[in-house]
């Protein structure tokens, strides 16, 4: 045979099962069952084709050369082992995934640092219950009311301000409707 016979599955099913989400456990179980059935079917067949007693058949078959012809064809028979054309693609995808994972980790670490800075800033502030409006303005200048530079009307929501347009109104104006 062209390939080495595999004695057992190279898949670590336990480690793989730990990564399967709970809602996909039944599909994973079905997949594992099919894989096990396939491995058992392959293992049920012999590694090499059975040996034939050609001398016995030469004595039984009266046609001269027929058994020799069959023997020659049988010995020349070669079932090609399929070439592995996917392992390189899988390896490439694994390396790409590792690269994506490492870049995601780096970006996540940056976000975590930013969030920790924000948390540190919030912890350094006095409690909201003790803040005055001036303290709030100093701590959060973008969110605080600024009646001098940006006067607003009560209840100080965007919908209640002069010149406010809803998303529907903006879309209608884009389409030429008034």
pLDDT reported for residue 1 = 40
Residue pair 172/178 in contact by the 8 Å Cβ criterion = yes
Continuous H helices in the chain: 13-18, 25-44, 54-60, 66-76, 87-124, 133-139, 167-174
Q: What percent of the chain has pLDDT over 90?
A: 34
pLDDT reported for residue 2 = 41
Mean pLDDT of 44-65: 86
Mean pLDDT of 37-53: 84
Rounded to two decimals, what is the model's pTM? Answer: 0.43
For residue 51, what is the DSSP state?
P
pLDDT digits (tens, 9 = 90+) for 131-173: 998 898 888 888 887 778 878 878 888 888 888 899 898 999 8
| Other CB atoms within 10 Å distance of the CB of residue 54 | 14
pLDDT digits (tens, 9 = 90+) for 98-128: 999 999 999 999 999 999 999 998 999 999 8
pLDDT reported for residue 178 = 64
């Amino acid at each position: 045979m062209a390939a080495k016979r595999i004695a057992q599955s190279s898949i670590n099913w336990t480690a793989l099962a730990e990564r399967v989400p709970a809602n996909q456990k039944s599909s994973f179980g079905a997949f594992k069952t099919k894989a096990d059935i396939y491995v058992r079917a392959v293992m049920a067949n012999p590694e090499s084709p059975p040996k034939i007693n050609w001398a016995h058949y030469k004595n039984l078959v009266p046609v001269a050369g027929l058994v020799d012809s069959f023997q020659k064809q049988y010995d020349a028979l070669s079932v090609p082992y399929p070439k592995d054309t996917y392992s390189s693609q899988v390896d490439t995808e694994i390396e790409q995934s590792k690269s994506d994972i490492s870049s995601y980790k780096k970006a996540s670490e940056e976000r975590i640092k930013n969030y920790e800075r924000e948390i540190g800033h919030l912890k350094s502030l006095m409690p909201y219950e003790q803040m005055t409006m001036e303290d709030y303005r100093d701590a959060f200048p973008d969110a605080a009311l600024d009646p001098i530079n940006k006067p607003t009307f009560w209840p100080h929501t965007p919908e209640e301000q002069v010149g406010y347009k809803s998303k529907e109104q903006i879309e209608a104006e884009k389409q030429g409707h008034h």
